[in-house]
Amino acid sequence: PHPRCFQESGSWFLTTTPLVRSVSVDLNNDASLVIDIPDALCERDKVKFTVHTKTTLSSFQKPEFSVPRQHEEFIWLHDTIVETEEYAGLIIPPAPPKPDFEGPREKMHKLGEGESSMTKEEYAKMKQELEAEYLAVFKKTVQVHEVFLQRLSSHPIFRKDRNFQIFLEYDQDLSVRRKNAKEMFGGFFKNMVKSADEVLISGVKEVDEFFEQEKTFLLDYSSKIKDASAKAEKMTRSHKNVADDYNHISGALNSTAADNNTAFKKHLEKYAEVFEKLRKLEDRVASDQELKLTELLRYYTRDIQAAKDLLYRRARALADNENSNKALDKARLKGKDIAQAEENQKQCLQKFDKLSESGKKELTSFKARRVVAFRKNLIEMTELEIKHAKVRRLKCCVYHYMFTRQCSGSHGKPGNMREF
């Protein structure tokens, strides 16, 4: 399956290979449920993914199938999982962010506006940049959706989730609609309540040192990684700007060459070629940095938020437990509704214990997963950086060789200049 990207009647198609992945999730290499997104279609700002599943699990009807899914359906899946009480003790894989085509859209706008005032070369260059950016966003979007599903499929509990299996198997539209304003506000309100609640329950004394440490760590780490992620984003963006500048320089050299009638013309064309090459290479460096580093930091910013959410749910259970203890004490003191309070207290304690237990497991495996992912991505990024630097070194060397050679040829015999 060779990756291809093509455009037809205003829509973009992307076929990917399962190998294009920025964040690794493969903690268990279980082949009983393998999911990938082999291709996607982008229409305006809507992206339709083809979700492909291969499985040996008996809970599915067929061993291999594909269904079309949209971003909203991914969000629906995430939300149903979040709302499932049973999963409160698990780190719920972060939902994929909404496809953001703001960058390429802006460029497209500029392209449309400036078409009349641009030279042919400049227009071609702009188009090239737009293409590259569009493709990059598209690919990133596909990846991050794929990763979400893979996180679920590699988790021993989530993979058995009914909704998840429906999501994978049901070949019709899940008729999930976009959230309306009220629901959006509801979500916003829920978040407000949650953060207020977080403040409230922060007073509850922690009983488990493990969680106390985790809480301190995650709070600190979360702010640090958020910052690093933003800074990496800025860095890669300015790297892209440098690549774009190379592109413009190449275009300007070409238009200078177009108006030149001397032997210098050929030189200028060559120089334009040099800068075109530099652009290509610099662009690759920037996009690989983005893919391996920025995406990693971004993903773990979200994942750490998911871990923090787990801590919140546990802290809530802890507070509930505390309250139920108090209620039981009160009931005993008053000698009223003791049985009910006891029952309540028992349930709360049970829930809290269960949450603590699975939370501990989840957080430990989260740590391992994080270290593995960082290792993998840092190695890959470093290897790519080395590779790109070597290619650039090679290019520079080849051109350097070419130009210095040409130097010796041209001066010996005037007129030779034209031949280089």
In the window 34-63, what residues touch other proteins (CB under 8 A)? 44-45
DSSP assignment of 196-251: HHHHHHTTSPP--HHHHHHHHHHHHHHHHHHHHHHHHHHHHHHHHHHHHHHHHHHH
- Residue 260 or residue 325: which is nearer to other proteins going by CB? 260
> Smallest distance from the beta carbon of 12 to other proteins, in angstroms?
9
> DSSP alpha helices (H): ranges in 259-294?
264-289
d(CA 39, CA 2) in angstroms, rounded, equals 11
When asked if residue 21 is in the footprint of other proteins (CB under 8 A), the reply is: yes
Name the nearest CA neighbour of 406 among 263, 247, 303, 288: 263
Does 30 engage in binding with other proteins (CB under 8 A)?
no
d(CA 280, CA 98): 28
SS3 57: coil
Residues numbered 343 to 402 that lie near other proteins (CB under 8 A) are 367, 370-371, 374-375, 378-380, 382-402
Binder among 101, 211, 299, 312 for other proteins (CB under 8 A):
101
Candidates 197, 245, 309, 337: give the one binding other proteins (CB under 8 A): 245
Q: Which is nearer to other proteins, 51 or 296 (CB)?
A: 296
- The residue range among 61-69, 109-117, 155-163, 324-332 that interacts with other proteins, by the rule CB under 8 A, is 109-117
Using CB under 8 A, which residues numbered 110 to 129 contact other proteins?
Answer: 111-112, 127
Q: In this structure, how many other beta carbons lie within 10 angstroms of the beta carbon of residue 71?
A: 21
Element (H, E) at 330: helix 295-334
Q: Give me the least distance between CB of 292 and other proteins, in Å please.
A: 8
The residues that bridge with 14 in the sheet, in sequence order, are 5, 40
- Smallest gap from Cβ 290 to other proteins, in A, equals 10
**Shorter beta-carbon distance to other proteins: residue 45 or 353:** 45
Residues 133-192 contacting other proteins, CB under 8 A: 134-136, 139
- Of 41 and 235, nearer to other proteins (C-beta) is 235
Beta-bridge mates of residue 47: 42
Residues 248-287 that bind other proteins (CB under 8 A): 248-249, 252-253, 255-256, 259-264, 267-268, 271, 274, 278, 280, 284, 287
Count the neighbouring beta carbons within 10 Å of the beta carbon of residue 203.
7
Residues linked to residue 219 through DSSP beta bridges, in sequence order: none
Nearer to other proteins, 168 or 218 (CB): 218
